[in-house]
A = this chain, B = another copy of it.
Amino acid sequence: MSEQEYSIKEAMIYTQRLAQMSKALWKAVEKDWQQWIKPYDLNINEHHILWIAYHLQGATISDIAKFGVMHVSTAFNFSKKLEQRGYLKFFKKDDDRRNTYVLVTDEGEELLKEMTENYFVSHHTILDGSLPIKNIYGKFPEFLEVMSVIRNVYGEDFMEIFERGFDSLGETFNESDGRITTTPPELKLASGEDK
């Protein structure tokens, strides 16, 4: 990363282009995401925390902050709110008293199940916007360039957690005759948690 093999001009145009592109993409994503979760009285960070806690099964607050790309204090405060609403529980492990772990409660699981089953009740503009590529290439785009930039910015463990979350989503999600059902992910926690 030391050899500068680009001009200042191209680097500036490239980064500003990426910035504005990313803003446009995120604003579309944000709108879809908000419309989906609106009936459940959650904001995006709260939903993201539940999602991570559910799919990682025994994440720490700092795992959540890292993977959810939010400040540790944000992750903690919203997790507290979710705990107060009965969707999340905090616990410590006997062999690791320093970290605070979170786990989705039965009630939280019920909520996520319902949200998954109603996923297509709201409109997903980014899905519509991706269908022309799907129709041409036979599969949804993989955004390998974006993923590469994210890997370089956030590091390998971010990607590992990212993939683990989506593996779990795939495993918990069932579809039969166009209806969605979910089965909870296996509890992968080491023993010792204070349930």
Write the residues of chain A forming the contact surface with B, with a CB cutoff of 8 angstroms: 1, 3, 5-29, 32-33, 44, 48, 69, 116, 119-120, 124-135, 140-143, 145-154, 158, 162, 165-166, 169-170, 173-175, 178, 180
| Beyond A6-B131, A11-B120, A21-B147, 12 additional pairs, beta carbon < 8 A | A8-B178, A9-B174, A9-B180, A12-B116, A15-B130, A20-B165, A21-B143, A23-B29, A129-B150, A129-B153, A132-B148, A142-B145
Q: Would you call the interface of chain A mostly helix, strand, loop, or mixed?
A: helix
Given contacts A69-B24, A170-B9, A178-B8, contact A146 B146 (CB under 8 A): yes
Q: How far is the CA of A14 from the CA of B23 in the complex (A)?
A: 19
CB–CB B18/A143 < 8 A: yes
CB–CB B16/A162 < 8 A: no
| Closest CB in chain B relative to A119 CB, distance in Å | 6
Q: How far is the CA of A175 from the CA of B158 in the complex (A)?
A: 37
| Closest CB in chain B relative to A23 CB, distance in Å | 6
Q: How far is the CA of A23 from the CA of B3 in the complex (A)?
A: 30
